[in-house]
């Protein structure tokens, strides 16, 4: 009698133990919603990786590399542009180019704090703060000679172009199989002078174009040479780019 009661009691205990285990196992079931999946309003997303993947990857590529638009995942570029310029570009866009304004007040979809998070995230993830500490980088904003100096700057730029760029972009800018033309009027119409300058300074190491200091010539481009090359390229802008019939008289005939 008492033995039977004993078995019954132990059976009850076993049952209790099993249910406790089952109940606590519920907590680790794969279907249990993960608090990380909680909904976040799009204007409250502050995670850099998420923001970059959602807003920048399309043109600038994954990790800010190997996209058609300028290279962002590059310590030189980030040190050269600096957070203030980056914030301005992301907020306001670059008129005339494919870079749209992302700030909500300017018709974009991001709040200022989110743009700050993007800029800070780029600097933190890809910036390598110490690397250019001792180096003097070319200033972000270039100078362009006045009207009197313009023709002179162009002539110098043409010469510098021969030294630093022509190997891949060809002497007249017509392009070689390696890199293609930089004097194409439609290209020039879609890039700002600042964009040209950035391309000359930072290059596209991810796509095989060296930065200003890494040319095969063996010496870095000087600030002046950078400015002159940009002036020379910009001089090839035409009034009506992209129209097949206005290209009959390209700039080449009006060279200084």
Partner 1 sequence: MSDEPREPMPPPALPPVTRRSFLFKLGLGLNALAAALVAVPLIGYVISAVVQTRADQAWIPLGSIGDFPERQTRLATYRNPFRVAWDGTTADIPCWVRRVGGERFQVFAINCAHLGCPVRWFPQSGLFMCPCHGGVYYEDGRVASGPPPRGLFEYEYKVSQGSLWVRGGRVPTLSQTV
Partner 2 sequence: MGSSRLRAAGDWLEQRLGLRPLFEGSAGHLVPSNASSWWYVFGSATLVCLVMQIATGICLALVYVPSADQAWESLQHLDFEQPFGWYLRGLHYWGSNFMVALMTLHMIQVFLFGAYKYPRELTWLCGCLLFLCTLGLAFTGQVLRFDQNAYWGLGIGVSIMGRIPLLGESLTSLVLGGPILAAETLTRFFSLHVFVLPGLVITLVVLHLRMVLHNGINEFPTRGRGVDPETYDAEYAELIERTGEPFFPNAIHKDLLFSAVVIGSILACAAIFGPKLPNGPPDPTLIDTVPRPDFYFLALFSVFALLPPYMETFLIVYVMPVVVLALFAIPFVSRSGAKHPADRPVAVAGVVLVMTTVMTLAVLGLSSDWSPHMDAWKSVAVPVEMVEGRSPLELRGAAVLQAKQCRNCHALDGSGGKRGPDLGDVATRLTEDQLIRQVLQGGGNMPAYGKNLSPPEVAALVAFLRTLSPADAAIAQNSADPLGG
Residues within the interface to partner 2 (CB under 8 A)? 26, 29-33, 35, 37-39, 41-42, 53-59, 61-62, 66-69, 97-100, 109, 175, 179-182, 184-187, 189-191, 207, 240-243
Cβ neighbour number for residue 48 with a 10 Å cutoff: 18
Q: Which does 245 bind (CB under 5 to 8 A by kind): partner 1, partner 2, none?
A: none
Rounded CA gap, 39 and 153, in Å? 56
* 61: partner contacted, choices partner 1, partner 2, none (Cβ within 5-8 A by kind): partner 2
Nearest approach, Cβ of residue 96 and partner 1 (Å): 13
With CB under 5 to 8 Å by kind, the binding choice for 107 among partner 2, partner 1, none is partner 1
Task: State the nearest-atom distance from the C-beta of 55 to partner 2, in Å.
Answer: 5
3-state secondary structure of 103: strand
User: How far is residue 212's CA from residue 163's CA, in Å, rounded to a whole number?
Assistant: 12
User: Using an 8 Å Cβ cutoff, are 141 and 81 in contact?
Assistant: no
Nearer to partner 2, 26 or 133 (CB): 26
- In angstroms, rounded to a whole number, what is the distance separating the alpha carbons of residues 83 and 89? 10
Which residue, among 202, 220, 227, has the nearest Cα to 71 in the 3D structure? 202
Q: How far is the CB of 130 from partner 2 (least distance, A)?
A: 29
73/93 with CB nearer partner 1:
93
- Compute the least distance from the CB of residue 100 to partner 1, in Å: 6
Q: Which of residues 91-120 bind partner 1 (CB under 8 A)?
A: 98, 100, 107
Encoding tokens for residue 10?
Answer: 């132990």
> CA 144 from chain center: how many Å?
25
- CA–CA separation, 45 and 51 (whole Å): 7
Query: Closest distance between partner 2 and the C-beta of residue 242, in Å?
Result: 3
Residue with Cβ nearer partner 1 (66 or 98): 98
In the numeric block, which tokens belong to residue 113? Answer: 């704090």
- List, in order, residues 6 or more apart from 5 with CB less than 8 Å away: none
Nearest to 144 by CA among 89, 187, 183, 193: 193
Task: Write the interaction track for partner 1 spanning residues 49-88; mark x where CB under 8 A is met and - where it is not.
Answer: ----------------------------------------
- Residue ranges that bind partner 1, judged by CB under 8 A: 98, 100, 107
């Amino acid at each position: 009698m008492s033995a039977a009661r004993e078995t019954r009691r132990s059976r009850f205990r076993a049952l209790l133990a099993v249910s406790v285990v089952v109940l606590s196992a519920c907590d680790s079931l794969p279907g249990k919603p993960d608090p990380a999946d909680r909904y976040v309003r799009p204007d409250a997303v502050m995670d850099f990786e998420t923001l970059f993947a959602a807003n920048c990857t399309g043109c600038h590529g994954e990790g800010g590399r190997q996209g058609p638009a300028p290279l962002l995942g590059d310590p030189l570029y980030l040190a050269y542009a600096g957070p203030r310029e980056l914030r301005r570009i992301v907020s306001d866009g670059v008129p005339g180019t494919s870079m749209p304004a992302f700030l909500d007040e300017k018709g974009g979809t991001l709040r200022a704090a989110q743009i700050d998070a993007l800029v800070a995230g780029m600097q933190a993830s890809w910036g390598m703060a110490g690397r250019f500490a001792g180096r003097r980088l070319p200033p972000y904003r270039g100078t362009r000679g006045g009207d009197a100096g313009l023709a002179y700057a162009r002539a110098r730029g043409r010469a510098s172009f021969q030294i630093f760029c022509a190997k891949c972009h060809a002497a007249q800018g017509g392009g070689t199989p390696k890199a293609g033309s930089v004097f194409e009027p439609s290209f020039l119409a879609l890039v700002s002078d600042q964009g040209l300058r950035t391309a000359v300074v930072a290059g596209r190491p991810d796509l095989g174009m060296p930065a200003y200091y890494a040319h095969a010539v063996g010496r870095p481009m000087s600030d002046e040479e950078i400015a002159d090359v940009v002036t020379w390229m910009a001089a090839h802008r035409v009034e009506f780019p992209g129209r097949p019939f206005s290209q009959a008289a390209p700039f080449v005939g009006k060279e200084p």
